[in-house]
Structure 1
Amino acid sequence: MPQSAFDSRRLSIFRAVAEAGSISAGARRVFLSQPATSAQIQQLEQKVGRALFERSARGVRLTAAGAELLDYARRVEALLQEAAAAVMPEKAPVGPLILAASTTIATYIMPQLIADFLKSVGHFSVRLKVGNSTQVIEWVEQGTVPLGLVEGPSDQGRSRLEPYLDDEIVAVVAARPQKFCLPKNAAALDETPIIWRESSSGTRKVVERALRENTGRRPAPLDLEFGSTGAIKEAVLLGLGVGFLPRRAIQAELAERQIVALEIDGLCFQRNYSWVIPGRDLSGLAQRFHRFAMRGRV
């Protein structure tokens, strides 16, 4: 098979179409016309002698051969970035650096970490996908993101979790008087409205497990559920219930005495933030970012 079948530009076009799910969307990603992109894919399929996509009115879907080639295409791109960094260390790396993080981490950890990294190696494009812990793990395992950072315990599949930072989840209420009795111990939470994150949130999994082990307390009809840390903070400030929030996310509100932390006997919520690393080793910019973060963790 001629080596020209796998020139880097053609592999980039193939990857764009595979990840976008259609010829037209892939063409926009690589700044080509749809006919030119379609021609490149056809030429690649002719060279390898196998169909790489199943085509339909809804778009394209990878065949088994296409899925295998996509994995190699991603690795080739990462290795090219790594090679450039090795032989041209004086030049800033070429992005994009693609990362994923769960909501709390994306808000309170990643911006500073990314800023420090760019200051160290030079400025380039960074894309940060935000979701809950389950979504981040899925993105890494699907290969759409090379590196993720999540909180809480997770039942990961093909990926592995590597501990990064420790954090504490704090039970908090608004500083002003409440319409409900403040819980003094874990058992009293049965009579207290709790403001939860969504069920797939890493923060919620930590809290639910601790409450289940200590009191058997589970979500109740009068509890509330919000999809972000920021929304829970606002609900707490409005006096809607007790929220369980990462200490890193509420430092300003605690310092300004807008909210107060509760000492609840028998409950302690410790957890760590963990890197989600694919089954294969990291390479390219993702590897450099991970090494940088691990050296400078606080």
Structure 2
Amino acid sequence: MELRQLQSLIAITEKGSFAQAAEHLAYTQPTLTTHIQSLEKELNVKLFDRLGHRVRLTREGERFLGYAERILKLTEEAANAVSPEKAPYGKIIIGASETFSVVRLPELLKEFRKEHPCIDIELNFGDIAKFHDDLKNNVIDVAFILSGKVPYPDLTAEILCPEPMAFIAAPEHSLAQQTAIEVSHFETEDFIVTQAGCAYRAFMEELLESSDIKPRSFMKVKNIEAIKQFVISGLGLAILPRIYVEKEIANNSLVELPWHGPDFGMYTQIIYHRDKWLSPTLLGFLQLTRRKFGSNCGHLPPVGHL
């Protein structure tokens, strides 16, 4: 059963003859006749009675006509539902850390919602390894990550902005009085660190190991707000993106230590699968994201060359 056969059936019914219906649909009359004969053969019923110069639907044809009209209507609705010109609705699924969702996403999503008021938005939380799996399995459309080089060649990554890191301590901590902090200062310190899979935690661990420095202890905490509170309470040091601790540094509940070690090379990036079809909705979101993050936007250099 083909849509053009149903269109032919409806046109013949409305025009009352094969000739007029063929002219209306810009078909030849033999083509129209073939459509109906093929449909009658498939359904194993007669759809039209030919009475002189007029044709009328048989009773079976009358019953089938309602279904044909509904099928064509649903087909039109289905096409409109995904048409970028006609569809007012859609959905975008975004991967991000919970903290990024609080700090960076609200203004971006607010503006996107103004431009696309009927688009549904869903957030999935995780880390880069989870987002890689989710993008590969088409569970999410895009993800925001904080990372250096992206270790997955099947992902497209765009740098949105550099993310300076901050070593933080309580104001009364002994290191708060130092004028320069290097990795050797951490030999007898306690550290509060984020969950496994965090890019800047991995960088810090590699730095300590390469310098043969072993801090006294590590406390592993998944929630960044909790990390900040633990540091404020004097339980240890932490390394976090500066944007996450700006308020606490400004009100003197935290101190940023004067780090003189290597740069962490962290960037906020947006990633998506390189083979992902970028729908008009997704393209609009990417374009808005680039505008919001400003002139620092650009493609991430190849893996290993950041």
Residue 203 of structure 1: how far off its partner (Å): 2.9
Gaps of 5+ in 1: 5-78
Q: Does 1:185 align with 2:187?
A: no
* Residue matched to 1:283: 279
Structure 2: 5+ residue stretches without partners: 4-77, 295-306
Percent identity, aligned pairs only, is: 18
> What do you get for the CA RMSD once the two structures are aligned?
2.7
Q: For the structure 1 residues 81 and 150, does the alpha-carbon distance in structure 2 shift closer, same or farther, using more than 3 Å as the test?
A: farther
Aligned position for 2:162: 166
Q: 8 Å contact 1:170–1:269 — kept in the other structure? A: no
Equivalent in the alignment of 1:256: 251
SS of the equivalent of 1:144 reads: coil
- Asked if 1:198 corresponds to 2:184, the answer is no
CA distance in 1, matches of 2:241, 2:260: 18
Q: What is residue 128 of structure 1 aligned with on the other side?
A: 123
Q: Distance in 2 between matches of 1:127 and 1:225?
A: 28
**1:295 deviation in Å?**
2.1
1:107-146 pair list within 5 angstroms: 107-146=102-141
Report the counterpart of residue 221 of structure 2 in structure 1.
226
- Distance across 1 between alignment mates of 2:82 and 2:238: 48
| Distance in 2 separating the partners of 1:170 and 1:192 | 16
Normalised by the size of structure 1, how large is the TM-score?
A: 0.64
The code of the aligned residue for 1:253 comes to E
Alpha-carbon distance between aligned partners in 1 of 2:268 and 2:237, rounded to the nearest angstrom: 23
Deviation beyond 6 Å, 4+ runs, structure 1: 79-82
Aligned residues: 215
- Could you tell me how far 1:149 is from its partner in structure 2? 1.0
How far is 1:82 from its partner?
Answer: 9.2
Instruction: Return the letter of the residue paired with 2:293.
Output: R
* Gap change, CA 1:173 and 1:82, over 3 Å in 2: farther
Distance across 2 between alignment mates of 1:250 and 1:198: 18
Provide the C-alpha distance between the structure 2 equivalents of 1:250 and 1:293, rounded to a whole number of angstroms.
Answer: 23
Contact 2:227 2:238 in 1 (8 A): yes
- Is structure 2 residue 293 aligned with structure 1 residue 297? yes
Cα distance in 2 for partners of 1:80, 1:191 equals 65
Greater Rg by CA = 2
Q: 1:196 to 1:240 in 2, by over 3 A?
A: same
Partner of 1:43: none
3-state secondary structure, aligned to 1:155: coil
Structure-2 separation of matches of 1:217 and 1:231:
25
Return closer, same or farther for 1:185/1:3 CA change in 2, 3 Å cut-off: farther
8 Å contact 1:210–1:269 — kept in the other structure? no
